Amino acid sequence: MPLPAPTRSRLAVVFATLAIPLLYFHRATFTDKVFIARDILRVYYPLKKYWVERVSQFQFPEWYPYDGLGQPYPGMLISGAFHPTNLLYLLLPLETALKLITLGAYVAALAGTYRFARLWGQGRGAALLAGLTYALSGYLVCISNNLLYLMAAATFPWALWGAERFLREPSARRAAAAAVPLCLVLLSGDPQSFALCNGALLGLVLLRPRRSEIARAVPRALLLIALGVLLSSVQILPVLGVLGDAQPTAATLEKATSFSFHPLRLLELALGPLFLDPNTGSAPLALADELLQSGMQTLWVDSVHLGAPALVLLGVALWVHRREPLTWKVAGGALLVLALAMARHLPFYGWLYRWMPFWNSFRYPEKLLPYFLFACALGVGAGGEAVRRGLVPARRLGQVVLGLAAGWGVLLLGEWGTRWFSDGVIRGLWARAQPEVLEMLQGNFLLAAGSAAGMLAVMGGVLLWVSIPERRAGLLIALQLAVLFLANEHLYLVTYPDVLHQPTSMVDAILRSERDAGAGRPRVYAAVPKFKQEQVPEGLERIDITSINSVTILEPDTPALWNLESALSYLPTVSSRYFSLEDRLGAMELLLGRFAGLFHVRYVVVQASEYAKAGGNADVVVAEEPRFNAVLLRNPRVLPRAYLATPVCEPDVDAARARVFSRAFQPGRQVVLECPPGAPEDAPPAGDEPGQVRFVRYTPEHVELDVEARRSTVLVLNDAWYSGWSATVDGQPAPILPANVAVRGLRLPAGTHRVTFTYQAAGLRLGAGLSLGGLALLALALWYERRERSG
């Protein structure tokens, strides 16, 4: 018995929702390769590996020791410490779990956009068109290298879908369907998206057609926001708890607006990635910083492509619904988000940075683009629906589209003959443009304009000669999929997972030397700024080269894959004290002469050529890697992880920093303390040893030592000072003082002592209680609602 047409339609949508993303990412889906790029390798693999190691031993990670002398783990929002997908890392190999989560994000993005479009009255085909336009847009494909932003972008359509349903008809079940994904946006690790998602939720209120409906919707929206914040308390409070100690990620407006969206890149919506060098797969440094004003020597994402046919359908939606206020409310909100993303070119982002509380903690405005692209995708679906219903004559639209194709062809010929784009537009905006970059841009423009003209010609043919509406809609969906596949499919990055498991020669050398290293883990510092790709064997792709380079030269936090600590900071909650020291390292002599030894850095990776020029000592060379111009050095002047020293008091952090870098300071014999008023006077360094220190227990959150002090002295523990740490001496609380600006110091009288250091993440337990309370309230409301319905 054949299935009814509606059932067949639903099954087709479900199959497409699951199959399209998996087929699109076939290089990752059907091979043993995994999604990997700079941030995946340097951030998410180490963080998730550490989470699995601790949780599998029934311990929750509160302190992360592998970056910048240590950082709070739950306060580091990008750790995603509470996201439920972490359970997959417990059940599956690390690379398999990450692959499934990444692929699942695209399925979730497509399905969430589909559900929202259906809620707004679009048919199944149109909603599917909207979903694949959003999920497979250039932005989402490229952000596969940064998992937390991908997960947030895949989740917020579900939060808005749930919120819209709750605003229309509130119930406990609908409140849960909105608040849970809203919470998951934050638990993914993206606070800026969480803030904007709450703003979009309030925007949904303003889309009500009548004032009376707006008045009823306001308290409902505020209730959802409060519920989302309550459920997220387990993440929010630890993050707030580290703000006073962590290095600000957006300390100035200039830093906050790095990776702003340049207006010139709007061309990519129709043409694809214009600014990438096809030979290297990335934008030339000068083009990224001088023309597009990235401020970071590269682009945040390589493409924001939607496709010329999609933009035609978006224009159709705006035209057909031009007299409806809803159209221009949505368009206005989308353009406002776009204006915020253009932070360096328009003033709106700067206003928020200066005047809105907590907005000055955010950075990288291009992260806001998914909200703009989501609105565009809904418009594409609405345009497809208008074509299907005949609200715009298909033949007339086909003629217009063919005219647009001819227009693109004219632009293409114009660039071929007169170089109006590469020489005219680009050189007009960028006077210092290099000839080779202009040649690259001309080639990219010719290819992109030719592709766009061809796709528009196909679209015009479908509209002119396919008369059955359902068949025409299906062909438009297939065409949009082909457009996105051809332009964006090569932009996501995969490589073999071997790089995660096979120690390099430098890692092997460290592990062999440190088998009996005692407490803590060996600490390394990577100071190799660049490498030469031409020295790498042929046959490797760019991402393979980059991955091998990262683990070979021990870029942070790749050493964590082998339980090695990185003294170089990369993650965002690095202590501001430590960062203020690290930021002053301008010369190899300072790094090797004082900094590395002072902070228990046992190994340093430097450029081999620079080390040779400086007349470096060959006796301390442990391993070499000629392919990347790198050499691993053993630090002969490293101080122990814990030792006793004579205090040198300073009144504040600035004076302490100056003393640490002064020639008069004697590392190892002296320690610079920030002493409270009335502290004992400094004593000159004595000639005899101040005593001995022995580790009894060393774990990330608990350190226990036995100390035999021959005189009044200071115990220095060479791990990051953070306000969540507390100490006891012989069972009695004792204050921890910042030592040498960035690490922990403890005054001790003469004698034998048992000293303990303990860390508790600020706000974690209160936040967990609030989140559990929120879940309990939701469960109670759902139970009561179900009981009322059944009764």
**pLDDT per residue over 186-224, tens digit each?**
999 889 999 999 999 999 999 998 888 999 999 999 999
Residue 499's pLDDT band (boundaries 50, 70, 90)?
confident
As a whole number, mean pLDDT of residues 689-712 equals 93
- pLDDT at position 160, please? 97
CA 671 and chain centroid, separation: 37
Structure tokens that stand for 257 in this block: 């607006």
The answer to whether 450 and 407 have CB atoms below 8 angstroms apart is no
Mean per-residue pLDDT, 507-526: 81
Q: What angle is formed at CA 612 by the lines to CA 607 and CA 614, rounded to 5 degrees?
A: 100
Residue 591 binned pLDDT confidence (cut-offs 50, 70, 90): low
Q: What is the pLDDT of residue 286?
A: 85
pLDDT over 60 at 684, yes or no: no
pLDDT for 683 equals: 58
642-760 has CATH 2.60.40 classification: yes
Q: Which residues contact 214 (CB under 8 A, 6 or more apart)?
A: 205, 206, 208
Nearest Cα neighbor of 123 from 472, 397, 485, 482 is 472
- Specify the pLDDT at position 470: 86
pLDDT at residue 534 is higher than 50: no
Q: CB count, 10 Å around CB of 597?
A: 19
In SS3 terms, 191-203 reads as HHHHHHHHHHHHH
Domains of the chain, by residue range, sit at 497-634, 642-760
Whole-number average pLDDT of the chain: 88
H, E, C per residue of 722-739:
CCCEEEEECCEEECCEEE
**Cα torsion through 246, 251, 255, 261, rounded to 10:** 90
pLDDT band at 540 (very low <50, low <70, confident <90, very high): low
At residue 558, the 3 state secondary structure works out as: helix
Name the pTM for this structure: 0.93
Quote the percentage of the chain above a pLDDT of 90.
54
Which pLDDT band, with edges at 50, 70 and 90, does 66 fall under?
A: very high
Residue 693 confidence (pLDDT) above 90: yes
Q: Mean pLDDT throughout 436-440?
A: 89
Q: H/E/C letters for each residue in 629-640?
A: CEEEEECCCCCC
